[in-house]
Structure 1
Amino acid sequence: MTDETEPTAAGWDAIDSECKRLYGEQVPRHVGYAPGRAFGSVLQGCSAFRAQDHWHYVTYGLSNIFDDDEGENDGFSGWGYELTWRVRDLAGGEEPPSWPFAILQRLAKWAAEAPVLLEEGTRLHIGGPVTGFPHTDGPDTDLTGILLANDPLLGEISTVNGRVTFLQFVAVDAGDIALAKENGSAAVLERLVQDDPLLVTVVGQ
């Protein structure tokens, strides 16, 4: 006999509950990352939800999704955030583009290993297309940088493991990255949100 119990998934359930608030009973397209967070991966997985004209990607694993045994963490769960990305569905297919799953995993791994604490206003210069072209199946694009904004609909939630902010990738070109360095990310994001309140990334033709 042992007193050990299976870890809970209260953090995961809290993210699911918030996504359900937006998308009801929709079953998302979910991708799991091997070997999984319990065995050393940064992310456990990522779900893509079908919105009106885009796919909404949400990660699982940068926050503490399984249990609350992580010690004092200033009220945050794990890193204190999960990543999201809204990508326009130009093809109108039944399956989401696969390249955002790969890019989210890659940048989450980089941030965790650097270590870099991502937050609203963080600028990331990718050094190539944000789609990973030509190394992924993503299209070529002149969007080569990412600004992080608080997800306009998910925002921040409180879980039994602590607070979780949903940080959304906003893909921008080199000119906007330069403006963000000069004037601050907030000024660029404020302009972009006037054109599109959801800050959806549009790539391809």
Structure 2
Amino acid sequence: MTLEEYKARYGGQNHVAPGWDAIDASLRALYGDQKPQHCGTIIKHFLGGRDPIDGISTYQSDAGGAAHLHFCTYGFSALYYDEEAVGQDFSRFGFELTFRLKPSQEDHEPPIWVCNLIQNIARYVFESGKWFEEGHWIPANGPIRADAQTDIVGLMFVHDPQLPAMETPHGRVEFLQMVGLTSSEVADLMAKRRTTTEIAATLSKADPYLVTDLARSGA
């Protein structure tokens, strides 16, 4: 459907969610009929809710031969039809976040701590107006999972290897995957001894899908 066709069909019906539908379509192309477990907000952010991200879906993935959980956000990009935003180069912040996690024995359901982590990152983005791009990284100022003994204390951002960028009526959206960093990797980045590109290249030799394992430590 062209931009003009979309505008003619839906006009100003703000309840229509072309951004949400586009994310669903990308995930459906990857996972087919698999029904994800979804963590949604009770009060949407645009209605005054505290959490900026309206939803996070979790899929079971075996990409690379290693079973893991694959999370995807709904809300960094424009989800609901907005006449003023139609035709922009980028949809709101221009990305959605994904995260691949090797589950622990305690993780019988999609780990709520991941949803909390993502919402905290979203608050920073929405409040500061700053966004992430491939190659960016952030320290977590402690373990990314507060109730676990883990050396994963930072995150870097890469393009999700299975979800290509997409065009929506509101503009382009990229899928940026968060990848856990150890304390030594964070130290290297702070000291500029290595770049995120170099770290990702090293990690991808063992795992091209860059699944975060909370048990990982060292260089």
- Do the two structures share a fold, i.e. TM-score over 0.5? yes
* 2:55 corresponds to 1:55: no
Change (3 A) 1:69 1:90: same
Partner of 2:22: 14
Match among 168, 182, 191 for residue 202 of structure 2: 191
Q: Secondary structure at the match of 1:38?
A: helix
Cα deviation for residue 33 of structure 1 reads: 2.2
CA distance in 1, matches of 2:93, 2:20: 14
1:152-191 equivalences under 5 Å are: 152-181=161-190, 182=192, 183-191=194-202
Give the structure with the higher percent helix. Answer: 2
Distance 2:170 2:93 in 1: 11
Q: Deviations over 1:32-79 (max 9, x none)?
A: 124213224421111001112111000001101111434478510111
Deviation of 1:146 after TM superposition, in Å, equals 0.5
Show the counterpart of 1:23. Answer: 31
What amino acid does structure 2 have at the position aligned with 1:172? L
Measure the CA separation in 2 of the matches of 1:124 and 1:93: 25
Summarize the Cα distance change of 1:4–1:170 in structure 2 as closer, same or farther, 3 Å threshold.
closer
> In structure 2, what is the equivalent of residue 99 of structure 1?
113
Tell which deviates more after alignment, 14-23 or 91-100.
91-100
Structure 2 counterpart of 1:85, from 99, 105, 109: 99
Q: Is residue 166–residue 173 contact of structure 2 (8 Å, CA) maintained in 1?
A: yes
Q: Is the 8 A contact 1:43 1:105 kept in 2?
A: yes
CA distance in structure 2 between the partners assigned to 1:95 and 1:50 by the alignment: 11
Q: Which runs of 5+ in 1 are unaligned?
A: none
Question: In the aligned structure 2, how far is the partner of 1:31 from the partner of 1:13?
Answer: 17
Contact 2:12 2:83 in 1 (8 A): no
CA distance in 1, matches of 2:76, 2:87: 13
Partner of 1:43: 53
Q: Distance in 1 between matches of 2:189 and 2:107?
A: 34
Q: CA deviation at 1:194?
A: 1.6
User: Per the alignment, in what secondary structure is the counterpart of residue 111 of structure 2?
Assistant: coil
Residue in 2 that maps onto 1:144: 153
In structure 2, how many angstroms separate the alpha carbons of the residues matched to 1:34 and 1:186? 38
* Residues in 2 aligned to 1:124 and 1:175: alpha-carbon distance in whole angstroms: 14
1:33 to 34, 41, 51: 41
1:17-37 CA distance string (max 9 Å, x none): 100111111111101124213
How many angstroms does 1:90 deviate by? 3.4
Identity %: 33
1:43 and 1:62 in contact (8 A); partners too: yes
Displacement of 1:96 after TM fit?
1.9
| Matched length | 198
Q: Distance in 2 between matches of 1:117 and 1:73?
A: 20
Gapped runs of 5+ residues in structure 2? 1-10
RMSD (Å), alpha carbons: 2.1
Contact in 2 for aligned 1:70/1:78 (Cα 8 Å): no
- CA apart distance, 1:192: 1.2
Q: Against the structure 1 CA distance between its residues 177 and 11, is the aligned structure 2 distance closer, same or farther, given a 3 Å change threshold?
A: same
1:68–1:160: 8 Å Cα contact kept in structure 2? no
Compute the displacement of 1:204 (Å). Answer: 4.7
TM-score (ref. length: structure 2): 0.83
